[in-house]
Amino acid sequence: MTLTQALTLLPVLLSFALVFYVLARKFGFPVLAGTLLALLLHEWLIRWLTYLVKAPPLIVTAASLWKDGALAGLAVVWLQNRLRDRRGRPRSKRIRVLDGLLGLIVTLGLVSALLSPNRLAGLMAFRDYYQPVLVFVLVAAFYPTNQQLRKFVNAWLVVLALIAVLGIVQTTLWAPGDYERWWFGRVGTQSGIPAVAMRGNVVYRAPSTVTGPNELGMHMVLGLLMASQLMLTAERRSQWLYFALGLLFGIALVLTFSRSDLLASLIGMAALFWLRIRDRTPVFGRWSLQNVAILGVMFAAVLQTGMFGRMAATAANPQEQYHVQDTSSALEVLLDNPAGVGMGMVGPRSGAFFPEQPAFHVEGSIFQIAFEMGVWGAAGWIAFAAAVIIAALRGWKRAEDPQDRALGGTAVGGGLGLSFVLLFLPLMQSMPLMSWMWFLLGYAVHLGRSRDAQHASSEA
């Protein structure tokens, strides 16, 4: 993308922002909720425009700006509300740790973008990293009522279930021609449909409605953790519904063939059990047996697909794995160049802006940040993420409403699991996934900040 093209798209962005601003002023949380749900289907729209309609790239980019306009419109309403609420109130000189760390990483990112060898690439990379974080800030401004939250959670699980079913169907039934017939383009790594050899057979890793199998797997992890949490407090009849959803998400997760996401699910489930022990509630019971059954089915699927052998080979020879080699090389380069190579110079952006001078490539998002913002930028992000997870844990402890506890537990478990995934996978710039992750974390953090341990939406 050139500067001229970017300026051409500016009126489109402003138009989207104006529409969502008007809607957000009146409807608030439903607009935020609708945006998050629509993000789960955004990539399908892009594939539809690209491969079925065969729209020009500029039109595809213009259509994709709806999500940027939505967050911009919500952000303006949030800013207006903040300015209005501060009028007449004494100014507090106290800066919260989270607010200070957030300001630090935003400042580091903006400086890195402006100092980038290619400023436009740097600003685009800045947007990719920080736009999802805006959801973390917006949660407190558009807080739901109990009824709104219940509908939103149910809608989320329904959409995730549809995504899981599509992912399973693609993996088990689709041939390469089916992907092209259904607007996914030709099978290949560039189209987001990579292949993996399992027991001598080539298996295509389905993306479902998102960008790729690794992102799909992490969405399934969040769904699995959420269903498990709701299964704990639901009525008997609903418990089995959430149990079925947990099985569906678990099977879909295995069929993404993502080793990192599978380990993230184990980290997340272990966190849920740890939270229950901290809650001084019995660990063994129907809830534990149901979760063990889900994990057992997942393990059987791992054995059946040959995924167990792939993971065992990885554990036996980690240094031969591409992601490990990639990470080791990145660490060596960073030791010699702690300032990194500049914002926008790493990952997919480098190919778009610098085809004639390739920049260093690294898969893991944590090392991507270090290469783009320097090791101090990575340190700032790690400190912020750690503080957020600790604050989310505090929110989970203070919450009493079952849905609040479920969302808080999912935030803590999912945050810990995703932290591991980001060592090896470049998911930090995935707006659909990170927007959901920052929403969950922001919701849990706000629960911890509320003076009332009851559901804060009762104040709405």
Asked if residue 273 belongs to a domain, the reply is yes
Residues 138 and 79 in one domain: no
> Would you state the structure tokens that stand for residue 106, as one six-digit string?
């935003």
Cα→Cα distances 329→278, 346, 360, 362, Å: 40, 14, 10, 8
Cα→Cα distances 87→49, 75, 99, 372, 438, Å: 46, 19, 20, 39, 29
For the stretch 274-296, pLDDT in tens is 998 877 666 677 888 999 999 99
Q: pTM here?
A: 0.91
Asked if residue 92 belongs to a domain, the reply is no
> Would you state the structure tokens that stand for residue 88, as one six-digit string?
């007449």
Instruction: Tell me which residue range forms the domain holding 346.
Output: 99-459
Residues 117 and 53 in one domain: no
- Give the model's pLDDT for residue 94: 58
Residues 78 and 105 in one domain: no
Residues 443 and 387 in one domain: yes
Residues 4 and 147 in one domain: no
Q: What is the mean pLDDT of residues 136-162?
A: 93
C-alpha R_g of the chain: 22
- Give the model's pLDDT for residue 193: 82
Write down the mean pLDDT value for the chain: 86
Domain boundary among 51, 86, 121: 86
Confidence grade of residue 454 (pLDDT, cut at 50, 70, 90): very low
Domain boundary among 86, 121, 154: 86
- Give the model's pLDDT for residue 191: 59
Query: How far is 86 from 90, CA to CA, in rounded Å?
Result: 8
228 HSE (CA, 13 A, CB side): 33
Residues 370 and 253 in one domain: yes
Residues 82 and 141 in one domain: no
**Residues 6 or more apart whose Cβ sits within 8 Å of residue 155:** 33, 37
Which 8-state DSSP code applies to residue 200? T
Helix (H, G, I), strand (E, B) or coil at 120: helix
Asked if residue 417 belongs to a domain, the reply is yes
Asked if residue 93 belongs to a domain, the reply is no
Asked if residue 243 belongs to a domain, the reply is yes
- Give the model's pLDDT for residue 332: 78
Residues 319 and 345 in one domain: yes
User: Does 347 have pLDDT greater than 70?
Assistant: no
| Between residues 298 and 348, the one the model is more confident about | 298
Tally of domains in the chain: 2
Residues 192 and 248 in one domain: yes
For the stretch 49-66, pLDDT in tens is 988 888 898 899 999 999
Query: How far is 83 from 247, CA to CA, in rounded Å?
Result: 46
Query: How far is 25 from 23, CA to CA, in rounded Å?
Result: 6
For the stretch 359-391, pLDDT in tens is 556 778 998 899 889 999 999 999 999 999 999
| Residue keyed to tokens 């190579």 | 341
Q: What is the mean pLDDT of residues 436-450?
A: 91
Asked if residue 437 belongs to a domain, the reply is yes
Asked if residue 246 belongs to a domain, the reply is yes
> Would you state the structure tokens that stand for residue 364, as one six-digit string?
């893991």
- Taking phi over 0 as left and psi of -120 to 50 as alpha, with beta for the rest, 381 belongs to alpha
Q: Which helix (DSSP H) or strand (DSSP E) does residue 196 occupy?
A: strand 195-198
Please tell me the total number of residues recorded for the chain in this structure.
460
Asked if residue 397 belongs to a domain, the reply is yes
Residues 82 and 103 in one domain: no
Domain boundary among 52, 86, 120: 86
Which 8-state DSSP code applies to residue 455? -
Residues 339 and 445 in one domain: yes
> Would you state the structure tokens that stand for residue 200, as one six-digit string?
């001598």
Say if CB 259 and CB 310 are below 8 A apart.
Answer: yes
Residues 82 and 109 in one domain: no
**Residues 6 or more apart whose Cβ sits within 8 Å of residue 54:** none
